[in-house]
Structure 1
Amino acid sequence: MSVSCLDKAYRKLLLSKYFTKGWGKPNDILKLFEFRKIISHRESCHKLVDADHPITILTKTSLKDCSVYDGTFLSPMAKYLPSMMSNKVKQAYFQLVLPKVWLDDFKPVCIHLAGTGDHFFWRRRNLMAKPLLKQGIASVILENPFYGLRKPTNQVRSSLHYVSDIFIMGGCCILESIALMHWLEGQGFGPLGLTGISMGGHMASLAATNWPKPIVLVPCLSWSTASSVFTEGVMSESINWDMLQRQYVSNDKYYDALAKRCNIVDKPFCHRLMKEFNVDEIWEDKDIKTPFDFLNLMNSSMTNMQKHKVSKREAKKRDKEAVWFMRGMMDECTHLKNFSTPVDTSLIIAVCAKIDGYVPRGGLSDLTSLWPGATVRYIKGGHVGACIWHRKMFIKCIEEAFERAKVKLGPPVEHSPYVITALCGAKYCYSPPWVVTLVFWVGYFNSALNPLIYAYFNREFRVAFKKTLQSCCQITSKLVCWKWRSRRDQPVNYSTASSEMHGNNYLRPDLRAEAIAQRFSHNISENEVINLQSEVVI
């Protein structure tokens, strides 16, 4: 597969280096491998997060076209691997962006996970969330671990210190997304969806596999595994392979314990890393599953391989055990084949770039073979070009996926009597009259009781309803509103506050968390902000 020249050129311009301190502690990686076995199965992973996981709304900001709520909660990951997470990483932050008026009876919400270099909320809020508002789709923007408000003080830009950090990031995104979806369901929102660009797209895919209900998924510029990103893509040039190789050979635990535990899912000889060799016969005779098996095969059969002229850089890179160990680790923890299949794959629309230099797809499992029923669409050009020029395509696919979900889920419950009556009242679909009448009136009572329930249990709804009623009365008749005559001089809010609050129950700021809210003022130096904003989402 050809590679975008723009992707190559842009990567060379960036100074960011990844995994500057190595693999991470072997014991920590072993814990992550064991934890992966738990979160890769939907039944066991879903039990890790309480349905009522505490989430706090800190502030609310009313803008012209939307309302923005800032929220925070403790990452569920901190309960299981606390020693591997700093205090900054443990505390999750998000923004909920809601439209002033919903377009229909549905209240869809899409969770946006961050791509590489996407710190804070402003980029996703302005480029993705606000355009979706026009389609009646709300958004939750989750701050990635190790980014923005959650960035460790000694970390430079987006440069993760250890390879193990990216696995911690993935585990956090999965569990935090589940916590947010539980919370959103409890607030009456739905249908729900997940999306992200590049790394965010793959994180969204992993999170969607662990949700026990149909969910919209639109991964953009990602594929079935992250292994090729770090071993074949242009990002591999930003990794200090010499240092990783030295660590690998200096500690027997990497080779004896870790390499034997992780599997290379796709055939290694189909990858670009081995394009210089003709090894079809070797592959047919060998059962290679782990980097340990593969390295033994390479060492024993190098003399039998047909030699080709290769560049010095490629030869040096090919011979490093660290590259194959990286591939095995990434496949073990990120390959979608190792995770459950989403409940409804027809709600998945993946968007890929044809000549993506960051996410090579050659030799990897096809997304449609792993998830039959999923839709994959391709954009002309590469990774960086797609981020710059094709965001409208991402938004269009998100909108289409939510429309599919609305059809699948059907109308809200209170409309079901009308639908049932229309179907069962047909000539060829007879139902006893008492059944039709019963279901019909249950719907009427449900619709009649909902406003009373909201008015009794929801203080904000009562205030909004009172303001709306006051406005109507002042306009129609002074006699009806004699109780409010003494308050005429007070300003009246003619906004659609009632409709907004009806969809946003319990989204009131917690005044007790005012001290925490100060962290949203971004006490960051000017130089750091400039550095973060100089990175594009890749």
Structure 2
Amino acid sequence: MSTKNHVDHIFRRSLLLSKLFTKSWGAPKTLERLLYFRQNFIGQGRINELIENKKPIMVITKEWNRKDITYMEGNFISPLFEWCPQLFPAGVEKCYWRGLFPHSSKKRNGLVIHLAGTGDHTFFRREYGFANDLLKEGYSAILIENPYYGTRKPKQQFSSSLLNVSDLFVMGAAIIGECNFILRWAKESGHWPLGISGVSMAASNVHDPIALVPCLSWTTAAPVYTEGALSDAIQWKNLGKELSSKHFRDAISQIKDCDWLEQLQDKESFDRQTEDSKRFMWILMEEFTNLNKYPVPFEPSLVKAVIAEEVCSFT
């Protein structure tokens, strides 16, 4: 096994205890709503219009002090749920977060939202791996619990194993709305400057100059789910069966401003040996995760990407 494949397999096993997307691509109506939302709102930098129209209520549930740090926990209903509740399984719609702030407001130099990586269901890893050291420099932290993770995990879902491909896109769209609402709340509460670490799409709809530190990210998730670390964990047989059904294809063909099936038939754009299910996965990932589909951050000079220059061998 090559070094690259060896790392891929170790990475996948460390994240997943079972298969991904065991149920379906997602209901065509769900994909239709997500496409409309991507094209007309977050793809146009308009998520804050939805927040203004029906602003969520921030609920602070707990606050305590430990040494020189003030801890706070709260929740609110995801702005995406306010717009389209049909996208959310029961229990996913409420965003839970934990904040860590220097006790003295005079020692607060800024605030960073630390978003969860794949498989991160708790606050522990981000609190001890990122927030604590930044607190020493006076930077507050807010840790968000991702949709479909932790207490926001649907009852039918095992661990990080999303049931539907569309769940991943609901997660991404929801996080964009949730980050924008928290940043607005933080700014109104006197925190500045602001930043986000973890997911680059989350900053695409922010209309203020904020810092952004995407970690080991890429411009699209398409290669990861079709060729990389997570591809072997996907239930390609089940997805291929659904994709081949006339009922599913007819429903997809009815989606307005959607050319996914036309792209699927364009064999020259893909390796001729690649099965339809992997081609369709690539098409959907390009549609919903490619950064070219989203606005450029308000101040690009504040983006500091963390990238991997070498592949390490685990032997």
TM-score, length-scaled by structure 1: 0.54
The corresponding residue for 2:311 is 381
Shift in Å, 1:40: 3.1
CA contact (8 A) 1:113 1:141 kept: yes
The corresponding residue for 2:258 is 261
Matched, 1:347 2:287: no
CA distance in 2, matches of 1:44, 1:260: 19
Gaps of 5+ in 2: none
Q: Which residues of 2 match residues 8-407 of structure 1 at below 5 A?
A: 8-12=9-13, 14-50=16-52, 53-101=56-104, 107-196=109-198, 204-250=199-245, 251-253=248-250, 256-257=253-254, 261=258, 291-295=263-267, 297=268, 315=273, 318=274, 320-354=275-309, 380-381=310-311
CA contact (8 A) 1:217 1:347 kept: yes
Aligned-residue Cα RMSD (Å) equals: 2.7
Percent identity at matched positions? 34
C-alpha change, 1:2 and 1:344, in structure 2 (3 Å) is farther
Shift in Å, 1:154: 1.7
Aligned residues: 309
Deviations 1:433-478 (A, max 9, x none): xxxxxxxxxxxxxxxxxxxxxxxxxxxxxxxxxxxxxxxxxxxxxx
CA contact (8 A) 1:214 1:344 kept: yes
Shift in Å, 1:54: 1.5
Shift in Å, 1:44: 2.4
SS of the aligned residue for 1:158 comes to: coil
CA contact (8 A) 1:259 1:290 kept: no
Q: Which residues of 2 match residues 477-496 of structure 1 at below 5 A?
A: none
C-alpha change, 1:323 and 1:225, in structure 2 (3 Å) is same
Paired letter, 1:88: G
CA contact (8 A) 1:39 1:210 kept: no
CA contact (8 A) 1:22 1:161 kept: yes
Paired letter, 1:294: D
The corresponding residue for 1:416 is none
CA distance in 2, matches of 1:108, 1:262: 44
SS of the aligned residue for 2:9 comes to: helix
SS of the aligned residue for 2:230 comes to: helix
CA distance in 1, matches of 2:215, 2:106: 26
The corresponding residue for 1:512 is none
TM-score, length-scaled by structure 2: 0.90
CA distance in 1, matches of 2:195, 2:262: 35
CA contact (8 A) 2:56 2:78 kept: no
CA contact (8 A) 1:111 1:194 kept: yes
Deviations 1:53-100 (A, max 9, x none): 310111012122411101011111111221121231111100011013
CA contact (8 A) 1:120 1:149 kept: no
Paired letter, 1:291: Q
Greater relative contact order (CA < 8 Å, ≥ 6 in sequence): 2
CA distance in 2, matches of 1:127, 1:32: 33
CA distance in 2, matches of 1:187, 1:92: 19
The corresponding residue for 1:7 is 8
Gaps of 5+ in 1: 197-203, 264-288, 303-314, 355-379, 386-538
Paired letter, 2:168: I
CA distance in 1, matches of 2:11, 2:298: 38
C-alpha change, 1:71 and 1:324, in structure 2 (3 Å) is same
SS of the aligned residue for 1:58 comes to: strand
Deviations 1:203-224 (A, max 9, x none): x311101001111000001111
CA contact (8 A) 2:8 2:228 kept: no
Shift in Å, 1:10: 4.1
Deviations 1:225-265 (A, max 9, x none): 111110111210000111110000013236635698257xx
CA contact (8 A) 1:16 1:159 kept: yes
C-alpha change, 1:164 and 1:71, in structure 2 (3 Å) is same
Shift in Å, 1:169: 0.5
SS of the aligned residue for 1:24 comes to: coil
SS of the aligned residue for 1:352 comes to: coil
Shift in Å, 1:158: 0.6
C-alpha change, 1:100 and 1:25, in structure 2 (3 Å) is same
SS of the aligned residue for 1:234 comes to: coil
CA distance in 1, matches of 2:90, 2:193: 33
CA contact (8 A) 1:4 1:381 kept: no
Paired letter, 1:381: V
Deviations 1:123-179 (A, max 9, x none): 211111111101111100001001111111121001110001111101110001111
CA contact (8 A) 1:290 1:328 kept: no
C-alpha change, 1:89 and 1:163, in structure 2 (3 Å) is same
Give the structure with higher Rg (CA).
Answer: 1
Greater per-residue helix proportion: 1
SS of the aligned residue for 2:157 comes to: coil
CA contact (8 A) 2:239 2:277 kept: yes
CA distance in 1, matches of 2:128, 2:13: 28
Paired letter, 2:214: P
SS of the aligned residue for 2:35 comes to: helix
